[in-house]
Amino acid sequence: MILPRSARLAACFALLFAIVTASAPAADPVPKWDPASTTTPEDVAGLQSLQTALKEAVEKSVPATVALKYGSSNGSGVIISEDGLILTAAHVIRDYDPSYKGKGDPPPMPFTSGGKVTIMLPDGSEVTGKTLGINQGMDSGMVQITEKPKNNKYFKDGKWAFRPVAKSGDVKKGQWVMSLGHPDGPKAGRAPVARLGRVLANSKGFLRTDCTIVGGDSGGPLFDLNGNVIGIHSRMVFPFSLAHNVHVPLDDFKTDWEKMLAGEWIDKPAPKTGGAYFGVVFADDDTEDAWLREVESKGPADKAGLKPGDTITKFNETQIKSVRQFRKLMEGTKPNDVVKITVRRGTEIVDLKVTLAKRG
């Protein structure tokens, strides 16, 4: 079996570090790693330096990384204030249609703040919290711990261990970062899992890295090597890859900060009155590709065969480059129109015909 590039790199690091610890003189100083570096270590000393920086960042960050249990969902989060404010992904703290019998994930229910959240701390103990606000399109959300901490090695004097947030816009392509979370959900006796990676892209609305994340990591923190929170895990890039992932930048959290603290659903859909209805929910901001986060059950798109993860590339004969362009074309339609939609589904190109409906 051929391991992913990130796994091979990690294995090389481990092997080289084992060699150097067996052969290098104990007195040789380890040079300090620049947390903003975008370079690859070129020698054993560089590998030692990067490993030391990673180890120190993990030790600082583990106490603030938590697991979240909400309804049937398991996810992760990070405490960013001494009074227990947690950042996570919106999809971790949503309710989903329990009656859904179709294929794929069930559609989300309307969001209301104040829902009960069970929070598992790094020592395995649990406390209670409540949901605050979300921005579903950005996939950002907040939770507030509603209990005081008991003194232990992580928490003392009635204050929660937390990590500061940093300006994500300053993060550079190629910079080394680390992800923490609870892959496949929390497991008794297992601390949050750390994975090293690099930034692949940093644009408005998203950070992309090759840090490995899987189900259960959603909502967990992405850190720089100073141990500052720079992003929140959102999703794997479609088609799924464990080492190509999207994170919500902290700068985008800050845009909605006060509204989410107040428990608002930032992008709550307007009532469906009149106009043509397509029945999908797009991800991120409207300048990105028309990638489908959700397809509404029994809506026109669902009936035509569109699926979550599809990327719309054509509307009739018009090439689609962004969500904004798709919405502009929809403005010229009316109920009962039949539109030809072309989507990219993994490595396939699929043509579908969608009969638009009237909004309820």
pLDDT digits over 273-318, tens only? 557 889 998 876 677 889 898 899 889 999 999 999 899 999 999 9
pLDDT surpassing 80 at residue 53? yes
Q: Is the pTM of this model over 0.85?
A: no
Residue 284 has a pLDDT of: 63
Which domains are seen in the chain, by residue range? 1-25+37-267 (2.40.10.120), 276-358 (2.30.42.10)
When pLDDT is cut at 50, 70 and 90, the band that residue 11 belongs to is very low
Mean pLDDT of 321-328: 90
Mean pLDDT of the residues in the chain: 86
DSSP string, 322-356: SHHHHHHHHTT--TT-EEEEEEEETTEEEEEEEE-
CA atoms of 32 and 252, how far apart (whole Å): 31
